[in-house]
Amino acid sequence: MGVPYHRQLADKQSLAARALRPVAPDVDWAAPFASAESGYRNKAKWVVGGDGKNPSIGILDEHREGIDLRRCGICEPALVDAFPPLVEFIARTGLVPYDVNRRAGDIKYLIVTASPQGELLVRFVLRSLDRLHDIRRRLPELQSVLPQLAVASVNLHPEHKAVIEGDQEIVLTEQSTLLMRLGDVNLYLGPQSFFQTNTAVAAGLYRQAAAWAARIVPDSVLDLYCGVGGFALHCAPASVRSVHGVEVSADAVSGARRSAADLPDPDRFTFDTDDAVTGRSDADLVIVNPPRRGLGATLADRIDSGAARHVIYSSCNPATLAADLGRMPSLRAVEARLFDMFPQTAHVEVAVLLERR
């Protein structure tokens, strides 16, 4: 932060190029896809701190006391506008912020996502379900002051450990998914589904992948770590006979199936809840969008020895991307592009097109 944005972008491009140079010396880099410098983040994962009368939302300091970030400059305006009524709702409902030192309290986190249309998905992460009835009873009050609230849920997180959410989700609204409309594609985001945190840059990333797929003209597409189906649904020109997505989150797979059903030829698409590492790995075009740890040796080796003529690899970690490319010597990186998903940070997203040698 404080570094002029054009310099940030140049530094990130240099960082990514250096990371890939040993394994992809001849890759053709396109111009970086820039982001808005502020107001770009569509999702806030805030610790609820303070006390029951004056809760804060943000992070914890070194003493595990709450630092309020409701005016955070990287959040989309729709989020910033929603924070005050959400904090007021927490106070009015009498939800006591979780005290990490004392291991006591009701609410641990507030997770809010905004759609491109300005609708909201709000999740209250609670230590127990003791206050579920109070939230449910007072939810109409929140909806009256926050009419853009489309989906609300309670996530149960009873354990004292450094993770943001638990496994159990209780949806409190009639609507259970947030519509994220990108161009002609409807993506349905459930409470526990992953979606890129920068909507405008995510749309650019999907357009780039779609342009590569249109040029390749694959017969079949396999999208590993498919989430709600963003890549699969964008990278399916009419010539593609089959598009299959694999994702461990059943919530995300349900959304991907619903998105496919909106398309004129839904029978081409299938989505399964499975582990990308152990499931199938062959298609004309394989798309991978793994977490920061990358593909790892097992999956990279399977893709390298498989039948895929092309691979599109979207990575949020150039170091693990480079390691994975080194594990796939049968595939050559031909084009790459940086997508600035996270301005004001050192993190980057890089998409690479690979072709079989």
3-state secondary structure 57-94: EEEECCCCCEEECCCCCCECHHHHHHHHHHHHHHHHHC
Q: What is the CA radius of gyration of the chain?
A: 21
- Our answer to whether residue 316 is catalytic in this structure is yes
Beta-ladder partners of 104: 99
Which class for 237: exposed (0-12), middle (13-18), buried (19 or more C-beta within 10 A)?
middle
Q: Which residues contact 92 (CB under 8 A, 6 or more apart)?
A: 138, 141
Q: Which helix (H) or strand (E) holds 10?
A: helix 5-20
Q: What φ, ψ does residue 151 adopt, rounded to 5°?
A: -135, 130
User: Reading across the β-sheet that carries 269-273, which strands appear in turn?
Assistant: 28-29, 331-339, 349-356, 310-315, 285-288, 220-224, 242-247, 269-273
Q: Which helix (H) or strand (E) holds 44?
A: strand 43-50
Residues with a catalytic annotation lie at 316
